[in-house]
Every structure is written in structure tokens, then in C-alpha cells.
């Protein structure tokens, strides 16, 4: 029997603290979804400026709770102030970015094709197409981004921007942060006169909640950021529904980083520091953490590996987010450390609570598949250095599973076109002379790559993430007044539309 | 044991004729896929003008075989000359439409975001995103469009336009038409210097072929037009793959048509004729056939139904496409005709081969769910008239499953905004004062609605169908010469790009 209440846990001590939070039941969840459904038509019909105002009002309500959010966020996640301050700013910034997008009307992708007698094999009637909101979206908050991919993070912001009511599963690793964010969302919606039922927060630690939300007939899409295991459960639930729905799951990724010998010859020390900083940022709990570094055999690679070893020895990280993550990390690391074909480097231990020791493994490419754990994602401060002949880098890329990102350090003039092509087939984002952590919220961002790193080719970061929650509908030969405003002849929304191509 | 050869069958006689076609084996299919994989990089790298030239060359090769295609097509499908002539023109026209789209470069959806120090929470690096080809696509030819949705129909044209090699399963109901089309594709590719392995034709009647193609690890997407049963098999195969792939299945649809009392009062005779013409066009074998007509109770509806009965009595249709379709049609019709809650109207019988009798059923909305077959798609010349209170039309729309299209006949000034909203949630295309057959190949077309009429919210007709076979890839901080041409600073392809929003 599931506990009827739960509490937050302090990652620095492992001890529970704060309010007893009541576990929601199946009927609680179903009731929240029904209330959200009742707001569906009205919310989808809000104008771009009303929708933008709502997103901005939510942003303002978040800002007005900044101090409290940072304080509670730190106590629940052990992430440092600087990181959470930046993440909160990003969260408000991305709401503003979506507000601007919605105001522009670009998300309607409105196309008007007027009647054309020349069409083959029959004259073309008047056809107009625009995107409209899918309906109520189920969103699962991520543990590792308590603001930017939690209650009103990227998935929620893009779904609301699309005109979809959202039912958000709070993350039990930061339940009080979720509550404050939920209050901000509701306050923002109320301020602009939108029903607060457009948003619902689902609280609990019962894994059945995932099924209650994802299998509910009124849920029309899922936004998820988390483990491959849960992502695949969501995909399976959808496939078994009477009406399958799109599941946008951003799952694990190794984010390979390839180093050419020349790039290492130029700046081995800087690159070693930057690689370890990226791999241990946020205690290594980013989906874009570089989980494997592909280093050329030979003297440049060996020197780089030596730099990594000595720099790592100086590094300690904040405790991990929760017991599950810490236990899985420790078990994977101690398992790998026993393997005879691996060399192991260690950083400084963090004691108490969910503290761990940053750890780097070194393996030759020929041995990389001997241990199935080696090429799996391990959430936490670890990365695997794979030593391979530079001439074989393309083969390495070809053997890896789909990734969110792939990075490549080269110097100008090196002939790596074939490797770049392989990396562009491997990942959604290819980075040159940089590291994959830090994902800009911008139009050109692609965060979502090839399976198993994500469930589809869409992006979960950046403006195009809105298209996950929209569907095109064409209107043929319509009486103008009955068209959606985005398609009416007088263009009452004043948006850009493509007419007759 | 599967027969090692098969033949075409004449629908007017039910007799086999023509060449013995050899059934392909699993290793034949796998060999064709491997050859296609070998062309993947080179074909994806073709420039827009090279790709457009290939599409046009294929169109020209089809035109040069027009007479033979019509002749063989008629002998295999029993569809009339006028229909096949128009469909062949559409097939060439849609290749030309995709050629123009590819030349414009719009399908790259190229976005360039330059570095921006103002970005939150960290400066934005240079990020550029463009679409690239998915890889080899498996396509399943439809029985009911021997040209426009067969070997080089809409799915194939959009995949080739995207830069994807295609492996096409020929439809065994028109195998010789498929062969001539396959020759045209290969001749067109050769003429412009593209490897003919970029295209492969798979021949056979063994249902295992579907699995061989859809489960092959090198197949990256599926394009399918056909029954809900096979569409769902394809979705299941994909879900069970190690790497699931997008399945774009356009399946069955009832395509409801709603008539207001006023629209019927104005022109019951014309609408009755148009409805029956649409329902029996191509012997009722269109995915957009109006399979249910929702007619108001009362005198206007009754007069309309009487017109349908008398017009139907004058209608005969060409034989159905194959034995399976004819047998399923006859069995469904005779089952429904036994139901006591239905009135049945009949047209004129077509004898011999796969000939059938057009049949219309009439049922009251209260009884519509008593017979589960009634609200299922029946491929062939039949439709179901549902009598319902005009005030209840919205409830009827709310009870139906997802559709490709929904149509509504009204007069100006009628208050049907809520019904229009319900129809836009039900279907991908909403038609006013028209019928759903005839699907224009144009930018604003949406052919793909809500499940179970299709497996996704994408369209399989019109220019946007190309996006099914593309995926976005972002390039961050790249050395210019290593970017794909669509994203290089000098814009060597001369395409439209969105820079800094």
C-alpha cells in the first residue's frame, strides 16, 4: 500500500523535511484532467495577445517568488545558488520567448491557397490550413531541472503557448519547489482572466500516476524529460491506448565528444579542464553531459588523458538530487571500477547525504563493448574516455546509439567531412569545438535526436518545441465568418500567412 | 507454403492473366534495402536542382508511358479511362509540385541564429538548423490509387523529394502497372545520373513482406496508405523494433457529411445526387468516400432521403479492385441488410468478376451503435444515412472516431460555429458545402486526421507531406566549410533562411 503522504528530502543529509504532501489518488488525477478538459475550447480560442499576456504574467509571478524559489530549490536539490539563479532566469526568459513567438502568429503556419482553375487533375477549391491546439497535455517534471524543465519549464511553456491546458506531474524530488511554481502559474493565469483549471499539478510518489495520466482518454499528448526506462514505459502506454497519442520523451544520451589529435596538440590542458567541467556541471546530472570522450591513441591523446586525471583529482561536486540517482550512480561506478579492462580516475569525495565521488574511466575502443554498462548513460559526475585510432572515429560514431548531441574538436582545415556527416546522422545537435552542456532557448536549437535519446525527431528546447502540441487542420470552401480568425480573409490577427505559395 | 509466382487478376472476370511474377524472398528484400542504403549519402547530398531534375525526369518517363500505363491500369483495376487519365496527370503534377518545392529550398526550414551576448542565462553561440533526409524509407503502394498512391505516388514523391531512397512494396492488385511505373522511375533516375539503386520495387503477395520491410534496421520511416488493420500492424512492428521508426499510415475513414435542414430545403435534389456521386466515385473505393451522411430528422431530411433512394436506383459502378475487397464488401452489406433497424436502398447490380450493387442504409441515430459494423468503413459503393435531430449534430460529431475529413452543408448565417469546432477536432480537413472526394495536391492540403484515420497528425497529400521524411539537425559553432550547404554563410543554394528570428 502506497504511503498516503510524502516529504521532500535534503540531498546533503538524506533526511526528510518540510510539509507532509498528500499522495493523490486515481480519482483526484482524473478529476483534475476533467477540469482541464472543460477549459480546452476557451483556452484554445484565446488570441495570440491573450496567450502571450498569460505567459508573461506567469513569468512575472515567478520573478516575484524568486527568492523563495531559490531558497526552497536549494534545500530540495542541493544545486548551488548560481546555477539555480541562472536556471530561474532561463525559465522566465523562455516564457517570454514563447510569448513573442505566439504574438507573431508564426506558430499557426497559416497557408491560404485560393481557387485555381489550372490545377491538375481538377480545379483547386479554396483551401486554408492553420495549426490548432491538440487538447489537454500531460507533462512530467524532470528531477534535474527544478525550474527550466519542471512545473512550468520548456514542455509546459510550449504546450501553454500552443493553447493546450496542461496537467503536470510534480517531481517528488522537489515537491515544494513544484508547489510554489504551481502557485505562480495559477496566479499568472488568474491575473489575465484565464481559468486556473487550465493548469493542474499532480502530486505523489506512486508510479501508477504515470499510467493514470498517460492512459487517460482525454490526454492528447505527453511531454516528458527523464530516464529511458520511464520514457519507454510512456511510449508503450501510448501504443496500447485505444487512441495512441504522441509521446515526446527526451531520454538519456551519452553525448559523445570526439577530439582530433591536432586539437589536443593545440590545447590539451584547456580541453581537459573544459571536458571535466562539462561532465561534472550540475554534478553530472544534465541530459547533455558528455558521457563519453573519444580520444585518439598516440601521444596527444595520452597527454590529454593525463591532464584529465590530474584535473579530476581537484574536483568535488554537490550531492546528487535524490537517493535513487545516488544509489544507481554508486552501484554503476563500483561495478565498472571492478572491470580489469578499465583504468579509473577519481575526484574528491563528497560525504553525507547523496554525496558521491567524480569518476572517470578509460577504455580502449576494442574493449568498449565488453562491458554493457560502459556505453550506457550514468546520471552523475562520470564520463568514459574511449581511446581509438583517429582514422577509426567514423566507425566509432557508426556503432553508437542515437544521441541528443555529438561534439567534435578539430582545427581549421582538417578533413572531417565524413565524420561530421556521421555525427549529423547520430544526433540532433552537432557541436564544433565546444561541449554539449548549455542548451540555448532559441529558434535554431534542436534538442531531441535519434532514438533512444528521444522518442521523436522533434525538439524539446527552443521555439520549435511548440509544434509538438499543435496539429494542422485544413478548411475547404469555407464561409469566411466560420473560419478560425487565423484564416479569415481580413486577417484579424495580423499574422504572416503564405498565400498561393 | 507461399506460391512462388502470382499473376494479375481481371476484376471484370475474376480471372488471372498476364506474366507470372516471381514472389520475392526475405533475402531478395534485404538485398534491395542494402543496395538502397549504399546510395543514401550520395542521394541526400544531391542539390535541390539535381533532386528537382530527378523528379521531373521521372514525370517525363511516366508521360512517355502514358498510353501503356492507362491500358494496363484499366485491365488490372477496372477503373474507367477518364479516372485513370486524370490520376496519371495528377501523379506527374505532384512530382512537378515537389520539384518546385525542393528548388525553392523551403523544405530545409533553415534557421540561422548568430551569437548573441544578451541571451539568458548564457550568451548564445552560433546555432544553425536545417532539415536533412531520414534515410531509406519503406513505402507500401495502395490498391485504390494505382498511380497517385502507388509506386511513385504521393508517399514516394515526397520521400524522394526529401532525399530519401525508397523501397516500394508493389500492390499485387496491379502488379504490371507497378512494373511499368518502376521502369519509369529507374529510367528517370538514370537520365539524371542518380543511381537506380535509390529506388527498389518489392514484388510478392506474401504478407511477411510487410514485416521484412518494416522491421529491417536500415528502414528509417514507413509511408503507407491502406486498411486500418495493416496500418496498425505496421505501428506495432515499429513499436517493437529496437529503434522505433515513424509510421505514416493513412488508414480508413468514414468522412461524415452533415446537412443542415436549410441546406436541404434549398437544394435537396442536387445534394442527393452529389452525395451519391461522391459515395460511388471510383466504385466507392476512396479513403475520402463519404461513408456516413448525417441528415436532420423532419421533412427536409425525409425529402432528401427520398431523392437519394430514387437516384441510387439509377446507379451502377465498375467492379471492385480485387477479390478481397469484393468479398469483404458483399459480406458486410449482406450482414447489415439483415438488420431490422435499418432501411436499405439499392442501386443497379454489376455482374461478373468483382461486380457489386451500390447500397445505402438508413438508420436513426439512437440505433446507430446497435450494430458495430454500421460505423466502420466499408470499402466500396455504400454509405449510411444517419437521421438525427439537427440540434444534436454536435453530439453526433463528438461520438465519432477520428476522421480524415468532415463535411458540413449549411446556408450563410446559420449558427454552426460549435459544430465547426467539433468537426475541426474530429478531422484533418473540414469541408463546407462540398464533398470529401477529390484531394488537391497543394500547400494548404491536410490529408491525415485524427487516429484511427491516420497514425499521426501529418499529411500524406500536399507539399507538407515532405516533412514526414526529414529531421532537423542543429549545428553549433561550426567551421563554415563543414556546414551543410543550406547553412553555409555564403548561402550557396540561394534559399530563404530565417536569420536571428
Are A410 and A260 within 8 A, CB to CB? Answer: yes
Torsion of CA A47, A51, A54, A60, to 10 degrees: -120
φ and ψ of B4, to 5 deg: -85, -15
For residue B272, name the pLDDT band (cuts at 50, 70, 90). very high
- Give the relative orientation of helices A154-162 and A81-104 as an angle to the nearest 10 degrees: 20
Share of chain A above pLDDT 90, in %: 97
Cβ distance A452 to B427 less than 8 Å, yes or no, reads: no
* Average pLDDT over every residue of B99-105: 98
* Average pLDDT over every residue of A475-499: 97
Cβ distance A438 to B239 less than 8 Å, yes or no, reads: no
- Which of B454, B465, B448, B457 is CA-nearest to residue B161? B465
Q: Is A446 on the interface with B (CB under 8 A)?
A: yes
| Distance from C-alpha of A350 to C-alpha of A193, rounded to nearest angstrom | 48
> What would the pLDDT profile of A152-187 be if each residue is shown by its tens digit?
999 999 999 999 999 999 999 999 999 999 999 999
Give the number of other CB atoms < 10 A from CB of residue B106: 18
Q: To the nearest whole number, what is the mean pLDDT of chain A?
A: 97
Residues of A in contact with B87 (CB under 8 A): 121
Q: How many CB pairs under 8 A join A and B?
A: 194
| Distance from C-alpha of B12 to C-alpha of B199, rounded to nearest angstrom | 32
Q: Is pLDDT at A340 greater than 90 in this prediction?
A: no
Instruction: Give the least confident one: A340-344, B58-62, B145-149, B272-276.
Output: A340-344
Which among B111, B236, B457 has CB closest to A472?
B457
Are A457 and A448 within 8 A, CB to CB? Answer: yes
Are B409 and B257 within 8 A, CB to CB? Answer: yes
Strand partners, B346: B359
Give residue B1's pLDDT. Answer: 47
| Distance from C-alpha of A304 to C-alpha of A264, rounded to nearest angstrom | 7
> What would the pLDDT profile of B461-488 be if each residue is shown by its tens digit?
999 999 999 999 999 999 999 999 999 9
**Minimum CA–CA partner of A86 in chain B:** B121
| Distance from C-alpha of B265 to C-alpha of A328, rounded to nearest angstrom | 71
CA atoms within a 13 Å half-sphere pointing along the CA-CB vector of A215: 11
Which stretches within B281-413 are classed as H helix? 299-312, 323-337, 393-399
Residue window 239-268, chain B: list those with CB within 8 Å of chain A. 239, 243-244, 246
Residue window 67-86, chain A: list those with CB within 8 Å of chain B. 86
Cβ distance A443 to B498 less than 8 Å, yes or no, reads: yes
Give residue A345's pLDDT. Answer: 98
> What would the pLDDT profile of B346-372 be if each residue is shown by its tens digit?
999 999 999 999 999 999 999 998 888
Longest dimension (CA), chain A: 77
Give residue B372's pLDDT. Answer: 84
| Distance from C-alpha of A73 to C-alpha of A165, rounded to nearest angstrom | 25
Cβ distance B129 to A235 less than 8 Å, yes or no, reads: no
Residues of B in contact with A454 (CB under 8 A): none
φ and ψ of A341, to 5 deg: -85, 5
Q: Give me A135's grid cell.
A: 487538447
Q: To the nearest whole number, what is the mean pLDDT of chain B?
A: 97
Share of chain A above pLDDT 70, in %: 99
End-to-end CA distance of chain B: 60
User: Taking the alpha carbons of B421, B425, B431, B433 in that order, is the dihedral positive or negative?
Assistant: negative
B423 Cβ contact partners less than 8 Å away, ≥ 6 residues apart: B258, B397, B406, B408, B430
Residue tagged active-site, from A76, A287, A309, A377: A287
SS3 B22: strand
Q: Is B326 on the interface with A (CB under 8 A)?
A: no
| Distance from C-alpha of A469 to C-alpha of A131, rounded to nearest angstrom | 9
For residue A3, name the pLDDT band (cuts at 50, 70, 90). low
| Distance from C-alpha of B269 to C-alpha of B312, rounded to nearest angstrom | 12
Instruction: Tell me the domains of chain A and their CATH numbers.
Output: 26-251+457-499 (3.40.605.10), 257-432 (3.40.309.10)
Q: Which residue has the cell 517534471?
A: A141
| Distance from C-alpha of B36 to C-alpha of B218, rounded to nearest angstrom | 9
Residue window 161-180, chain B: list those with CB within 8 Å of chain A. none
> What would the pLDDT profile of B198-253 be if each residue is shown by its tens digit?
999 999 999 999 999 999 999 999 999 999 999 999 999 999 999 999 999 999 89
Give residue B3's pLDDT. Answer: 56
Cβ distance B432 to A477 less than 8 Å, yes or no, reads: yes
User: Taking the alpha carbons of B490, B494, B497, B500 in that order, is the dihedral positive or negative?
Assistant: positive
Q: Is B2 on the interface with A (CB under 8 A)?
A: no
Q: Angle at CA B489, nearest 5°, toward B484 and B490?
A: 100
A250 included as an active-site residue: yes
* Average pLDDT over every residue of B110-130: 97
- Which of A427, A433, A462, A428 is CA-nearest to residue A445? A462
Q: Is pLDDT at A1 greater than 80 in this prediction?
A: no
Amino acid at each position: 500500500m502506497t504511503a498516503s503522504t510524502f516529504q521532500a528530502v535534503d540531498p546533503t543529509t538524506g533526511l526528510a523535511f518540510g510539509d507532509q504532501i498528500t499522495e493523490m489518488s486515481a480519482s483526484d488525477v482524473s478529476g483534475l484532467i476533467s477540469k482541464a478538459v472543460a477549459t480546452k475550447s476557451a483556452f484554445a480560442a484565446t488570441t495570440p495577445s491573450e496567450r502571450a499576456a498569460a505567459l508573461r504574467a506567469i513569468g512575472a509571478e515567478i520573478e516575484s517568488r524568486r527568492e523563495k524559489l531559490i531558497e526552497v530549490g536549494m534545500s530540495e536539490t542541493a544545486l548551488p545558488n548560481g546555477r539555480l539563479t541562472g536556471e530561474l532566469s532561463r525559465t522566465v526568459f523562455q516564457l517570454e520567448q514563447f510569448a513573442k513567438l505566439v504574438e507573431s502568429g508564426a506558430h499557426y503556419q497559416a497557408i491560404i491557397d485560393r481557387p485555381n482553375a489550372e490545377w491538375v487533375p481538377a480545379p483547386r477549391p479554396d483551401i486554408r490550413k492553420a495549426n490548432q491546439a491538440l487538447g489537454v497535455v500531460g507533462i512530467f517534471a524532470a528531477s534535474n531541472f527544478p525550474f527550466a524543465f519542471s512545473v512550468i519549464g520548456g514542455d509546459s511553456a510550449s504546450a501553454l503557448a500552443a493553447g493546450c491546458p496542461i496537467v503536470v506531474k510534480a517531481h517528488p524530488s522537489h515537491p515544494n519547489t513544484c508547489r510554489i511554481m504551481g502557485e505562480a502559474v495559477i496566479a499568472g493565469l488568474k491575473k489575465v482572466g484565464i481559468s486556473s483549471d487550465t493548469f493542474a499539478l499532480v502530486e505523489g510518489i506512486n508510479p501508477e500516476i504515470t499510467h493514470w495520466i498517460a492512459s487517460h482518454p482525454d490526454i492528447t499528448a505527453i511531454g516528458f524529460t527523464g530516464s529511458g526506462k520511464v520514457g519507454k514505459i510512456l511510449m508503450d502506454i501510448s501504443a496500447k491506448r485505444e487512441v495512441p497519442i504522441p509521446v515526446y520523451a527526451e531520454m538519456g544520451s551519452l553525448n559523445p565528444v570526439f577530439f582530433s589529435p591536432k586539437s589536443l596538440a593545440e590545447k590539451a590542458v584547456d580541453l581537459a579542464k573544459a571536458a571535466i567541467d562539462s561532465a561534472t556541471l550540475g554534478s553530472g546530472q544534465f541530459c547533455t553531459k558528455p558521457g563519453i570522450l573519444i580520444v585518439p591513441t598516440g601521444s596527444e591523446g595520452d597527454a590529454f588523458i593525463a591532464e584529465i586525471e590530474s584535473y579530476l583529482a581537484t574536483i568535488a561536486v554537490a550531492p546528487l538530487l535524490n537517493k535513487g540517482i545516488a544509489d544507481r550512480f554508486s552501484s554503476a561506478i563500483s561495478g565498472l571500477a571492478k572491470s580489469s579492462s578499465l583504468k579509473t580516475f577519481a575526484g574528491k569525495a563528497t560525504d553525507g547525504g547523496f554525496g558521491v565521488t567524480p569518476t572517470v574511466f578509460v577504455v580502449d575502443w576494442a574493449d568498449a563493448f565488453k562491458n554493457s554498462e560502459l556505453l550506457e548513460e550514468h546520471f552523475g559526475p562520470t564520463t568514459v574516455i574511449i581511446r581509438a585510432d583517429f582514422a577509426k572515429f567514423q566507425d566509432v560514431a557508426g556503432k553508437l546509439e542515437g544521441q541528443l548531441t555529438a561534439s567534435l574538436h578539430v582545427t581549421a582545415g582538417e578533413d572531417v567531412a565524413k565524420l561530421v556527416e556521421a555525427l549529423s546522422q547520430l544526433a540532433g545537435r552537432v557541436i564544433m569545438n565546444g561541449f554539449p552542456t548549455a542548451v540555448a532557448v532559441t529558434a535554431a536549437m534542436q534538442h531531441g535526436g535519434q532514438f533512444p535519446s528521444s522518442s521523436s525527431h522533434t525538439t524539446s528546447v527552443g521555439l520549435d518545441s511548440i509544434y509538438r502540441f499543435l496539429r494542422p487542420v485544413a478548411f475547404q470552401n469555407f464561409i469566411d465568418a466560420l473560419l478560425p480568425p487565423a484564416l479569415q480573409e481580413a486577417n484579424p490577427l495580423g499574422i504572416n500567412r503564405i498565400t498561393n505559395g
